[in-house]
Amino acid sequence: MHGVSGKGITLYPPAKVNLYFEVLAKREDGYHDIRTLMMPVTLYDTLEIELTDGPGITLGCRGLGAPEDRTNLVHMAAVRFFERTGLKRGAALSLNKRIPVAAGLGGGSSNGAYTLMGLNRLLGGTLEQEELFSLAEGLGCDVPFFLLGGPALAEGRGERLTRVDFVPPVWLVLVCPDAQLSTAGVYQNLRLTKESGDSKIKSFRAFLSRGTQEGGLKRANDLEESASSMFPEIDNLKEMVRDVGAGWVSMTGSGPSVFGIFGDARAACKAYLRLSQATGLMVFLAQGIAR
């Protein structure tokens, strides 16, 4: 989603959920080989980009807390874009955060990807798609995914992406506790098992074939055990989401947010209202973006 006016553009970077998440092995470079099915959802930040005539990047943030310095992926993406293109231009960027930070929803990665796309659009497609993906991969494992605009299977460190067309625009409710988990910390505490394989994608496809009404894995995300050891409330939140009728319930990313998939909009709305009233946490009603 975007709007363009003069030297500026307004973009709406979405959150994502990991419909399932498998950790396959630890790599020699310190990362892990994973396999996960990701889907963007209709929970958005707002990113405004305006080109400036002279070099330099400025960033202002409002909404849910996000840094305004060079550690923000918006700032990093803009700097690297101009370094790659060699253009002696700059940008004034403004970010309104609605996606919770460090919650497993990929908000920072989405912001970085949309910064690259927005600058490239404003500058007439200076970079080819392959170059944009290269820049995105250098910013983080999840960043390239947000350049695709729909569901994808991510493998390797998350950089090998394959579009998928079998996931419908399901209705979801997201529950985001007031906690932040370090992805590095979750991986550090991870206990690899031999349970990962093709069982999770088979289980998810079987769930879809039943009309998203029932069935689901106890742990569709291999990072849940580690994340739950750091924040035990995750398991309780999953049970609450199941109790309001979700057919598939999982933690997303490295947590601590959890989500449930519902059979239709009405069921999801009822669950959203019940969870909002019962938990006092940030609860979001969203739909998957199928393409």
Looking at the annotation, which residues are catalytic?
Answer: 16, 142
Residue 262's nearest CA partner among 278, 240, 286 is 286
* Cα separation, 118 vs 209, whole angstroms: 37
**Going by C-beta distance under 8 Å and a sequence separation of 6 or more, which residues neighbour residue 126?**
85, 87, 120
Q: Can you state the percent helix, strand and coil of the chain, rounding each to 5?
A: 30, 30, 35
The 10 Å CB-count burial string (b at 16+, else e) for 77-113 is bbbbbbebbeeebbbbbbbbbbbbebbbbbbbbbbbb
Phi, psi of 278 (to 5 degrees): -85, -30
Strand, helix or coil for residue 214 = coil
- Element of type H or E holding 24: strand 14-26
CB count within 10 Å of CB 29 equals 7
**Going by C-beta distance under 8 Å and a sequence separation of 6 or more, which residues neighbour residue 16?**
38, 39, 40, 41, 105, 106, 110, 142, 145, 146, 252, 253
Report whether 204 contacts 170 (CB < 8 A): no
* Cα separation, 72 vs 32, whole angstroms: 24
